[in-house]
Amino acid sequence: MPTVNTASLRDEFARLKGEYGALASAGKVPDETRVLMSAVFVLLELMVAIFLEKTTRKTSANSGLPPSQTGKDESATRPGTQVKGSAGQAQRAGNTRTVETSQTLEVRTCACCGEDLSDVAAAGHERRTRIDIVFEKTVEHVDAQIKTCPSCEGTTRAPFASDLKGPMQYGLGIKAYVLNLLVTQMISLNRAAKLMHSMIGQLISEATFLRYVLELHVALERWEQETIDALLASPVIHLDETSMRVDGKNQWVHVVSAGVGTGCSSGSTRTGDWPRCRIMI
């Protein structure tokens, strides 16, 4: 017995309706039969739709159910699945530098006969490019003079800048990179500490990393409240959720976002465009 599925039923109905339509166009179907068969086709299509609705497994793709209520989110673990957005849209960090060099390899002799080609003009060139990355550690020493007054014998030290609070501290570049590892890339504290140790030769404590995250949270507190107010004032908001694997289990991050609204930058709200104003809960 042939397999019956959605595609086969749809194809069979299309074939039968096509044959019936051809007969009706040729005048071989009486008016009474034409009305009756039209009603029969509508009834059969309705019955098939109800049958498929009851037997088809509900997912977020074919129903209004959110992914968190439709079982395991396959996109979280399926190999080759791409996340939303595009790598080409990512913005470069502001503290990066690009060093670009160009070198010309000259042809001095003919590879065929050995003729001297030093004075012959080049007819063209072929370019090959190598792109590499080198992490650069910068160390800045600031020495504050200490002087003794000959009059009162008091000691005066030159004041340090406000961001130099102790014998050693880490710059904004390290803080930004650590936050990127922890918050964006979701790398564990232990692995992030080992990575930074291999890069700068300094073992930064996990407590310092957590302080960076807390400082970021405090710095964004005002922005977060303003964004929430803008979302609530927006005429249209988008509600979505995305999965996150925690201890081998699915957890869900709920997202409230808006494309265009009060306090949010202007942008398209068409399907596929990222909203410009977003809060994750």
**Does residue 96 lie within any of the structural domains?**
no
Assigned domain for 74 exists: no
Residues 280 and 239 in one domain: yes
pLDDT digits (tens, 9 = 90+) for 234-247: 888 888 888 888 88
Assigned token pair, 278: 């977003």
Residue 103 lies in a domain: no
Over range 67-85, report the average pLDDT.
55
pLDDT digits (tens, 9 = 90+) for 100-109: 999 999 999 9
Q: Please tell me whether residues 245 and 214 are part of one structural domain.
A: no
Handedness of CA 125, 130, 131, 136 (dihedral sign): negative
The CA distance from 7 to 140, in Å, is 69
Spatial separation of the C-alpha atoms in residues 66 and 59, rounded to whole Å? 8
Dist CA 145 CA 148 (whole Å): 10
128 vs 136: CA distance, rounded Å: 25
pLDDT of 269 > 60? The answer is no
Asked if 209 contacts 147 with a C-beta cutoff of 8 angstroms, the reply is no
Q: Does some domain include residue 255?
A: yes
- Is the domain of 215 the same as that of 242? no
Q: Return the SS3 of 135.
A: coil
Q: Six-digit token pair at 202? A: 């300094």
Domain containing residue 191: 171-219
If we measure between CA atoms, which residue out of 35, 41, 34, 33 comes closest to residue 17? Answer: 41
In a domain, 117, yes or no: no
Please determine, for residue 145, whether its predicted confidence score (pLDDT) is greater than 50. Answer: yes
Residues 215, 238 within the same domain: no
Tally of domains within the chain: 3
User: In sequence order, what are the beta bridge partners of 243?
Assistant: 252
Residue 55: pLDDT band (50, 70, 90) is low
* 182 C-beta neighbours (distance < 10 Å), count: 20
Shared domain check, 240 and 215: no
pLDDT of residue 3: 57
Asked if 227 contacts 233 with a C-beta cutoff of 8 angstroms, the reply is no
Classify residue 36: in a domain, yes or no. yes
pLDDT at 146 over 90: yes
Q: Average pLDDT, stretch 173-201?
A: 92
Q: Is residue 44 part of a domain?
A: yes
Last residue of a domain, one of 14, 39, 54: 54
What is the tens place of the pLDDT at every residue in 199-234?
A: 999 899 999 999 999 999 999 999 999 989 988 888
